[in-house]
Amino acid sequence: MKRKITLMDGAVGTTLWGIAEANGVKKEPVWKYNIEHPEFVEELTRRYLEAGCEIILANTFGANGPAVKRSSPYTAADVVAAGVKAGKKVLEGTGVKLCLSLGPLMQLLEPYGDMEEDECAEIYREMLDAGVGAGADMILIQTFMDLEMMRVATVEAKKYGLPVMCSMTFEKSGKTMFGNSVQDTIDTLAPLGIDAIGLNCSLGPDLALPIIKEFSEKTDLPLLFKPNAGKPILSEDGSTAVAYTAQQFAADIKPALEYVSYIGGCCGSDAEYIKEIKKLL
């Protein structure tokens, strides 16, 4: 039986900054736009909808309690709910799923830092209550380097009865910055009953391919793959160029179609990159 591959979106943050800049609005933590410029979030969602995405992320990745409190008068609950509502407004009636996005915290869990597990769980619970309450269809826990923090967030997310997908970010070595391997990731997360596992961010598709292949050899769980479109390259004259064109990105990501069930892009990719992946599918 042929495996269905579901098309996900590209970058949220860099795309939103581009929309803000085009409208003469300064760069902010992008979660602020949920409340101050929901039209930007709607535009982002619309672009990915028109590119053919079947799952689009809500603009909630970094909207955790400590971050929101540190640089705004809002609550995380307000910001997350507004982000989900902006996305749902565009997707209503389309059948496209809106996915609540949870990212890592700046604080470190014990023993690396002084945050206790209960405090960490409470921060994610606030985001989950707001996002699920506002109508998110599923949950992606993504761009984590610390497997223990990912475990805490996943245990909380599983309490809400929605599909939960988990995506770590790896170094070229095939391990996370905290030293977690692919096997560690599977051993920790698979028993929690998640719906997909994989990697996003940090690497371009060429360097990320061996890691997603290793996942395919070690688990039967559906795999998720959202590599970066590379870091911008600075020329001698001060201009910047993207590391991957949309066409090159799609060409390099193509071998992953052999393994994955969910595919999209991360930092630096936008709707044009997703359209190129759509052609492959």
Taking only the tens place, the pLDDT of each residue in 54-104 is 999 999 999 999 999 999 999 999 999 999 999 999 999 999 999 999 999
Look-up of token digits 């995380």? 76
Look-up of token digits 């943050």? 13
Domain assignment of residue 211, yes or no: yes
Whole-number percent of the chain with pLDDT over 70? 95
6 DSSP β-pair partners: 262
Is residue 1 scored above 60 in pLDDT? Answer: no
Mean pLDDT is lowest, of 90-104, 150-164, 230-244, for: 230-244
Domain assignment of residue 280, yes or no: no
Look-up of token digits 């940090």? 202
Domain assignment of residue 1, yes or no: no
- From the CB of residue 34, how many other CB atoms can be counted at a distance below 10 Å? 26
* Measured CA distances, 39 to 22, 115, 202, 257 (Å): 13, 36, 29, 34
- Give the pLDDT score at 265: 96
**pLDDT confidence bin for 202, thresholds 50/70/90:** confident
- Give the pLDDT score at 232: 58
- Residues 16 and 44: beta-carbon distance below 8 Å: yes
Domain assignment of residue 281, yes or no: no
3-state DSSP call for residue 176? coil
- Give the pLDDT score at 243: 74
- Give the pLDDT score at 91: 98
User: How many independent structural domains does the chain possess?
Assistant: 1
278: left (phi over 0), alpha (psi -120 to 50) or beta: alpha
3-state DSSP call for residue 130? helix
Is residue 28 scored above 90 in pLDDT? Answer: yes
- From the CB of residue 62, how many other CB atoms can be counted at a distance below 10 Å? 21
More confident: 222 or 110: 222
**pLDDT confidence bin for 217, thresholds 50/70/90:** very high
- Give the pLDDT score at 239: 61
Domain assignment of residue 173, yes or no: yes
Cα separation, 178 vs 187, in Å, equals 16
Is residue 235 scored above 90 in pLDDT? Answer: no
Domain assignment of residue 261, yes or no: yes
Domain assignment of residue 165, yes or no: yes
Tokens encoding 12: 């949220």
pTM, full prediction: 0.95
The whole domain housing 232 covers: 6-275
- Residues 40 and 85: beta-carbon distance below 8 Å: no
Domain assignment of residue 190, yes or no: yes
CATH number at residue 13: 3.20.20.330
Is residue 213 scored above 60 in pLDDT? Answer: yes
